[in-house]
Structure 1
C-alpha cells in the first residue's frame, strides 16, 4: 500500500527491524547471489583472517534497505534513485534496523536519507533515495 505522501512529509517513517543475521542465511545468500567468497560462508577459514570471523555480504545488507524502501514506496511511489555507501561490516548475530528521514520534498517528489543500523546503533550502511508519486 505504501505510506501516503502527506505522512512522509509530516511524520516519522516507521522503521524496519530485521531478524538477527544467521550463518545459514549467509550460505543461502551465497547460493542466491553466486558469491561464495569464503569470508562469508566458511567459519573456520574466516576465524583465521584479520576479520576474525565471517561477515555478511554487503549486498545482503543493501537488500534490507531496498526492501525497506519498497515498503515505504508501496503503490504510491516509484523509486527514481537509490544510492548507498557501505560503512561497517555486518556479522552473524547482528540485528539490522532500517530507518528513513525525509530530507525535503513536495507532493510529487520526496528525498529520503536512509540508514541501516546494527544493534549497537552503529551505521552499517547509509544512503539516500528519491521517490516520485506514481501517475
Structure 2
C-alpha cells in the first residue's frame, strides 16, 4: 500500500478512489481541522470499541463532491447534502457513483435545477455515504 491514494475514472458518472491510507486520513485531518483521535490514534480507537482508526465522514463527502465539480462549475451548485451510512477504513477502496437525476423548477427562484443522487460505496458493497446535490440546469 502506498502513501498516495490513486484515482481511476471509469466513466463520467463513476470514480474509484483508494485504497485509502492512514496518510490520506491524517492529511485530511490537517486540512479540515478534525483532530479527533479516533481518526489517527490506534489505541484510542480500539479503546472506544472500534477495530482501528477510520476516516472522518467529511473526507468521503469531499471526495463525493468531486463527481459534481467535474461536470458542473461550482457556481452552479445550489445545495449539497450527505448522510453518513458506514465507516471507511484504511485499505478501503471507494466507488463514487452518480445516480438518478430529476429536473424541476425551484419554487422559490423559478430556476431550472437538477437534483442528483450520489453515493460512495466501499469495495464490500456497503454504502459509506449517500448524497444529493442540486445544481442549476
Q: Deviations over 1:63-90 (max 9, x none)?
A: 0111121112148x71111111000111
User: How many residues are treated as equivalent by the alignment?
Assistant: 121
Counterpart contact for 1:58–1:86, Cα < 8 Å: yes
Q: Choose between structure 1 and 2 for higher RCO, CA contacts under 8 A separated by at least 6 residues.
A: 1
Q: Which runs of 5+ in 2 are unaligned?
A: 1-10, 105-111
Residue 47 of structure 1 and its aligned partner are, at CA, apart by 2.9
Instruction: Please identify which structure carries the higher helix content.
Output: 1
Which position in structure 2 is the counterpart of 1:94?
92
Alignment of 1:3-82 (within 5 A): 13-74=12-73, 78-82=76-80
The whole-number CA distance in structure 2 between the counterparts of 1:14 and 1:88 is: 21
Counterpart contact for 1:102–1:110, Cα < 8 Å: no
TM-score when scaled to structure 1?
A: 0.80
Q: Deviations over 1:22-64 (max 9, x none)?
A: 0111111111112111110112332333112001011101101
Match for residue 113 of structure 1 among 117, 128, 132: 117
Q: Which runs of 5+ in 1 are unaligned?
A: 1-11
CA RMSD of superposed structures (Å) = 2.1
Residue 13 of structure 1 and its aligned partner are, at CA, apart by 5.0
Counterpart contact for 1:111–1:129, Cα < 8 Å: yes
Match for residue 129 of structure 2 among 103, 125, 129: 125
Which SS does the other structure have where 2:71 is aligned?
Answer: helix
